[in-house]
Structures are given as C-alpha cells and as structure tokens.
Structure 1
C-alpha cells in the first residue's frame, strides 16, 4: 500500500494536483523519504464545532530531539509546526490550543507509528496506534500517555499491527480481549488500537479519503 501511495505522491508533483490534508500527509512522506534522520508519523484529530464533527490529519515529524509537523489546512496554525517542540505532548497541546481559537473542541487524537523510509515498502501505514479521548482526560493524563508512547516509538519497541498474528475483523464498539473488570476512567479514555487498518484491495487515496480527513472552519 505505501508503495502505491508513493506513486500517487509522484503524480501529485508531476501534475501539480490540488490536494487536501490527507494527500498532504502522503506528499510529506514522499518528500522526506530521502532523509533517514527524520522520523514521520501521522497525527489525526477529531473535533466538534457547531453540532458537527470534523477530521483532520497532519504528518508528525521527529528529528534531533525535537517535534514538529507538516500538513495542509485553511488555517496556518493547523498545519506546519516548526521543529521546536521538546515533547510530543507539547506539539499536541499546541494544536489543541490552535483549535480553540476557532471554537473547535478536540475530542480525539490518534497517533500512528513511524513510517518506513523505504519507498517501495508494501507495509501499510499505521494511522492510529494510540487513540486518546482527550475530551474525557486531564492534560496531565494526556501528557503521560503521549510521552510513554513517544518513548516507546523512539526505542522502536512498537510493532505494526501487520506484524501481529492474524486477527478477525474487529466489530465496531466491541473489544476482542476477554471480559475483565471495568477499568478506571483514565484507562477507558485512552487505548492502543492493535486492530489492523481495514482498506479494500485498491489501497489508494480514494479509499483513504473515505475516512473524511478534512477541516472546514
């Protein structure tokens, strides 16, 4: 899938095609493939405004101990962020504060894994390895979860779901794990999503766009 997406990115550069935030992430991955010191990972936001929900995605960047982002939005402070943030949580909170300027409340934040630099890789992009219901969490809890996840990513101990044993398709709203006692609110509010991304065989941007990554404010 990543290989086909890189071919789509090459077409974008050749044809100067108009793009939205999702295509901007794919293009950002393509343009940074030749920079192995730059780690790339997707960051997705679900926000609420005026009775409607909106989705947006940017490409998180980690290099030389600092975090930043690449992306596209109608708002300049909801896309590119300089490589100046010392922690992943600082970067996420900066986006959250930017959303507040436009009266958007952030409901969920999803963080994916590092994207391999091999342009011919067929490994699927992990879009949501960590899912945080930030609207139900204190910032201290969000920071703790983000920093643990960021540390695990830097140590390369997180594995893509495609490397796990085969799993049945996960029913929406149900857990695959055995029944257990009800967890604390904090544990319910954040989870690591181990289910593989479910896409059709096309694996192209048309399928990915069904996720609805766009921001209209």
Structure 2
C-alpha cells in the first residue's frame, strides 16, 4: 500500500530534493541502470536521513561501521529441464516468491531498477537479469517483471498483471502484483510491505475468488479497495517486442456488487481465453534462465562506503528523477 505523490516521469528533477505532502512520500528512481554511482548512493542516504527517526546518526553509524554483517546473495530457483515437467506450477510459483522475498522489499526511498511500462517485453526481461545479478531489494513493479522472467517457459502457467487502487484516511494508494493461472486455479506473486498483499497460493478456483481475497487482505490493513485493473496474459517469448497490457479491464469495486464483479470477471476470463492462445509454449522450460548465469561475476565489485547495508555496491549512474504515478506503483 504505497503512497504515491511522485512527480512526473517527464520532469528532470535532479537538482531538487524530495518534498513531502500529507499522505504522500516521494521516492527516487534511478534512470541509468547499474552500477550505482557514489552520487546516486549519496542521494539515497540523504533521503533516508530525512525520513528515518534517527536521521543522520543512523546513516553515519552504518557508513562508518567496520563490522557490518555480510549479506548473503540469494540464489534464484533453478528448474532443470529434466525435472521441470515433474514440478508443479504451484511449487514453482512458491519457489520464485521465496526467492523474491529473500531479496527483500526496498525501503530506501530509491528504486534501483527503472521499469517503463511501455518498454517492450524483451527489454524489461533484461532489467530482470540485472535484478538477479545485483541482488538488491525491489518494489512491487520490479517484482512483477522479475516474476515474468522467472516463470518464462513454464508452458502451463499464464501470467497477467493485477493493479489495485485503494484509499486510507483520505489518501489514495497503488499496488501491483503478477496474477498467475494454471489448470483452472489462480494465484499471485509480488512484493509488498504486507505479507498478505503479495503472494497468494495457486489454489483459488476463480479469478473473482482471488480478487476478493486481496480485498479482505486490504480490509485487514484498514484500506478500502476502490479499483482493480487486470491486463492480458504476458507472452512467454523472451524476445517479444510486444508491450505488456496493464489494463484490459477495470473494476470499480466500490460501485459493483459481488455478483456483478463475478459476472464481469467470468466474462473477462472467457474473452482472455478466446483472444489469447493458452496453448503450450514451445521450447525448453527455463532455457533462457539457464543460458544466463548472473553469478559468473561477483555482484559486489568496487564497494562504496556504507553500501553493505544494501544488497550490492556496484551501483547506478547518477541520473535520478521522480517517478510518475501512472508509470510506477509502490506496494505496502
């Protein structure tokens, strides 16, 4: 459940410091990829010092410490072609979610990987490779792209984005997860500050059951679910130049009864099966993951001061801007 008060993605706001508004928190997005530069890291530390209760004292304590614990690099799940067919889609989804959870949610105020929703799928999957290589904490939108990459080649698993708009104390919050479907069962994976707002086991009998489970989770966190957007299934072709469809249907939850929501989602699922082939993806499962070895080189070359508290020290280029609410969504 994120407070999205960020500036337009088209604005070049490198020279301005983040400002805070009631119910909103600005966060930086690195636009130039990896490795992180010392300038970008400093921008992050300055932001953390402003929002952390202990401020500069906490930052200085980390940067000057010579006894920071070594952070292990999580290993992504590997499904060997010889045994992949015997591994159920539900088990694969659970393993991938466990890996993403090991990366941890990014609380720094600096989104490390830029995700442009209008970028072709092939380009977004290259960003996913960087996420694995660098092993840095991620936010919900990054987790969706990483989930797509790690599930590519699983022919009987269909993936589609699910975006949520909620309200709490008069403020609007946005979140996105990766919906999954296999053999008539639905689930989800992603990242969030709240455990019940990301992973959902692949066991729900309908898409509406999955959506209403998220609504109950939001209610338990005192949020009102106002709107749900669901996109078309994402291609399994790692070289696809298509863009991800993020909004094939929109449900205004506060205006629809449950029977109306169920009817709308059932119709959407039928159309989804008609418009998009659910046939098996031809190719070796996880071949593209096997061909790419993110651990051929160390992800922690040229360490920067205080960077051990992150997942990596190799860092980005200096360009930093604010993200657009229509382009980036955070999770809570």
Aligned length: 169
Unaligned runs of 5+ in 1: 159-205
The corresponding residue for 1:185 is none
Instruction: Show CA shifts across 1:52-93 (max 9, x none).
Output: 000000000001110000111111111010011010000000
Quote the offset at 1:20 in angstroms. Answer: 0.2
Kept in 2: contact 1:45–1:109 (CA 8 A): yes
Distance 1:209 1:137, change over 3 A: closer
The corresponding residue for 2:129 is 10
Moved more, 110-119 or 132-141: 132-141
Instruction: Show CA shifts across 1:116-175 (max 9, x none).
Output: 0001101010000001111111111011001110122123359xxxxxxxxxxxxxxxxx
- Measured in 2, the distance between the counterparts of 1:34 and 1:89 equals 26
Quote the offset at 1:10 in angstroms. Answer: 0.3
Partner SS state of residue 164, structure 2: strand
Larger proportion of strand: 1
Unaligned runs of 5+ in 2: 1-119, 278-321
The corresponding residue for 2:164 is 45
Of structures 1 and 2, the one with the larger relative CO (CA 8 A, separation 6+) is 2
- TM-score computed with the length of structure 1 as normaliser: 0.74
The corresponding residue for 1:64 is 183
- Measured in 2, the distance between the counterparts of 1:10 and 1:81 equals 24
The corresponding residue for 2:246 is 127
- TM-score computed with the length of structure 2 as normaliser: 0.49
Larger gyration radius, structure 1 or structure 2:
2
Divergent runs of 4+, >2 A? 154-158, 206-212
Kept in 2: contact 1:22–1:209 (CA 8 A): no
The corresponding residue for 2:329 is 213
- Measured in 2, the distance between the counterparts of 1:120 and 1:108 equals 32
